[in-house]
């Protein structure tokens, strides 16, 4: 094993670095999409680049594709396929972000949810980096998997008696198991909403909770303000799947936005369609200590 690692050239190490970085980015990107699927679907539909039915299909399938590509690249299995799919996704992201930059009223992509708040220009820069990394992996595909599980599956001598079809099936099984593990870790319980709000108020001046019931209309305004106000934690709650959260805060009108501070734990409620001016005023009042 030590001798084999010594034989790896610098290009192979660079490709390993690109694989791990790109794979980790795709898995991270899928987290917010799985946790807030309805919001991401709404964001993709708002671009109006695809017919609504196709846009919904794309937004539903994309997180699974990202997890597959991420696990494949990190494990070093099916590198060429994963790099090709990665390049195709990067191109689609580039098209969407260029469109969004030159057209107003388009929802922010929500690529990384509240993990990292990205403007369209920043997201576009990342997309080009992803495309370049994918291109390098395709260009160096002969060495891209030198360090990884895929190399073991590619050589018959490493797994004696296992035919090519068996090695392929084994690779698929490994990827599927890795995907299941990744998705299960993403979907862990975050505890009660009130507990999360209390924890957030220790780090932020205010918390804005967006309650909706299946239809996340108003997400564009919420995301725009999320990018604008770095000192405010924005949370989204689908009350169709989390009815207890609405009951805890006596919410019976959807959508409703609560602007909560340490001084007003029940929050200032803005009921009905999200109004950016009214919500901005409520946030400014909360930040000035008036809530």
Could you report the per-residue pLDDT of 143-189, keeping only the tens digit for each?
777 777 766 666 555 555 556 666 778 778 888 888 888 877 765 44
98, pLDDT greater than 70: yes
Pairwise CA distance, residues 117 & 126, whole Å: 13
284, pLDDT greater than 80: yes
Residue intervals of the chain classified under CATH 3.40.30.10 are 193-287
Residues in CB range of 164: below 8 A, 6 or more apart: 156
Region 236-260: mean pLDDT is 87
The CATH class of the 193-287 domain is alpha beta
What pLDDT shows up at residue 186? 66
Region 8-19: mean pLDDT is 82
What pLDDT shows up at residue 115? 54
Is the backbone peptide bond immediately before 144 cis, with ω within 30 degrees of 0? no
pLDDT in tens, 47-74: 778 888 898 899 889 999 999 999 999 9
What pLDDT shows up at residue 189? 45
Q: Which is more confident, 10 or 234? A: 234
Region 2-21: mean pLDDT is 74
249, pLDDT greater than 70: yes
Phi, psi of 38, rounded to the nearest 5 degrees: -60, -40
pLDDT band at 101 (very low <50, low <70, confident <90, very high): confident
6-15, 229-238, 243-252, 263-272: lowest mean pLDDT where? Answer: 6-15
What pLDDT shows up at residue 290? 58
Q: Which is more confident, 107 or 35? A: 35
Region 114-120: mean pLDDT is 64
Q: Where are the alpha helices (DSSP H) in 140-253?
A: 141-144, 149-154, 164-186, 193-200, 219-228, 243-248
Phi, psi of 277, rounded to the nearest 5 degrees: -65, -45
Averaged pLDDT score across all residues of the chain: 81
């Amino acid at each position: 094993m030590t001798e084999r690692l010594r034989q790896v050239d610098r290009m192979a190490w660079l490709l390993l670095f690109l694989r791990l970085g790109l794979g980790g980015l795709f898995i991270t990107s899928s987290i917010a999409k799985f946790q807030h699927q309805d919001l991401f679907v709404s964001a993709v539909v708002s671009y109006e680049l695809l017919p609504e039915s196709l846009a919904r299909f794309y937004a539903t399938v994309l997180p699974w594709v990202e997890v597959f590509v991420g696990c494949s690249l990190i494990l070093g299995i099916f590198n060429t396929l994963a790099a090709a799919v990665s390049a195709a996704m990067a191109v689609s992201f580039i098209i969407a972000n260029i469109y969004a930059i030159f057209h107003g009223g388009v929802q922010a992509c929500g690529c990384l949810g509240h993990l990292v708040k990205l403007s369209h220009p920043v997201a576009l820069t990342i997309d080009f980096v992803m495309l370049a990394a994918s291109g390098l992996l395709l260009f160096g595909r002969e060495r891209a998997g030198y360090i990884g599980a895929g190399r073991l599956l590619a050589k018959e001598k490493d797994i004696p008696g296992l035919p090519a079809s068996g090695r392929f099936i084994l690779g698929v099984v490994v990827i599927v198991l890795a995907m299941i593990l990744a998705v299960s870790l993403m979907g862990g319980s975050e505890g009660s909403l009130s507990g999360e709000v209390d924890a957030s108020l220790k780090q932020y001046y205010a918390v804005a909770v967006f309650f909706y019931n299946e239809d996340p209309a108003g997400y564009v305004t919420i995301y725009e303000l999320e990018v604008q106000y770095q000192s405010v934690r924005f949370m989204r709650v689908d009350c169709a799947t989390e009815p207890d959260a609405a009951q805890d805060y006596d919410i019976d009108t959807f959508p409703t936005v609560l602007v909560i501070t340490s001084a007003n734990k029940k929050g200032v409620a803005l009921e009905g369609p999200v109004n950016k001016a009214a919500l901005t005023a409520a946030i400014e009042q909360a930040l000035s200590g008036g809530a």
